[in-house]
Amino acid sequence: MAFPKPPVFFKPMGAIAALLLSLPAVAKVHTVAIGAWRKVPYTPPSATTPDTLRVRPLVIDGIVKDWTTGDIHKITDRTFVARRAVKLNDALPEETGAHWIWVLGPWLLVDRSSAHVTVLHLPDFDPAVSEVVWFRDYAAYCGINSTGKHLSAVVAQLGVRRPLVSKPIAKWTADDHPTPACADATWQRQPLQVVFHPTNSDALTYQIFGLTSALVEDGEAPDEQ
């Protein structure tokens, strides 16, 4: 006498694995925060008197990933930029032990959702000279060109390889130059333009058109471009 086969209540392991692989992956939730201020020893470039620098940790998922200085600038609701502060070993080869100093570094682009941190290589950016003023995803600053002989007005846009503005505005000598080289640039929304204020020189205004720019001369109506 033949008996009926018992019902099968469990799927084979291969089928279960295929089912699990077909389920949508759950995105990991990251935490990104800027910690509390602290003061560290710091000697500004071209200075002989020690000073202090205010730095804050960049904390990702509870771990200090880097150090920042100055205010952050929000690009979108999920990304921001922050100036990096670097703890550098300044010991010479013949010196024993490490000699740690703090220096100003490049800018960092931080994505809050993915917790990804990107070092920004802004064109002609000089950590000792350039003071970036951000507007939207535009960075305006005075930089030093690749030959080291000219101070340049620079406007860079994130995601764009070539700078929108890169104009020599003064000769540059490493051993003899004004400090600061430029006052902070000033932005205007409508029309979109930026004014550079080099020390010992007249202000220069550049109007931004998409991925290009144009110098606005004195007495010229910028909205007629």
Q: What is the DSSP string of 43-100?
A: --TT--S-EEEEEEEEEETTEEEEEEEEEEEESSSSEEEEEEEEEEE---TTS-S--E
What ranges do the domains of the chain cover?
28-120, 123-225
- 164-177 pLDDT, tens digit each: 999 999 999 888 78
- 48-57 pLDDT, tens digit each: 788 999 999 9
> Where is 42: in which H helix or E strand?
strand 38-42
> pTM of the entire structure?
0.80
Residue 21 pLDDT: 62
Written as one letter, the residue type at 17 is A
Residue 219 pLDDT: 44
**Across the 225 residues of the chain, what is the mean pLDDT of every consecutive 10-residue run?**
56 58 70 96 80 96 97 95 96 93 96 95 95 96 93 94 93 85 95 94 90 55 40
> Where is 107: in which H helix or E strand?
strand 100-111
**With the CA atoms of 136, 182, 129 and 35 taken in that order, what torsion angle do they form, in degrees rounded to the nearest 10?**
-50
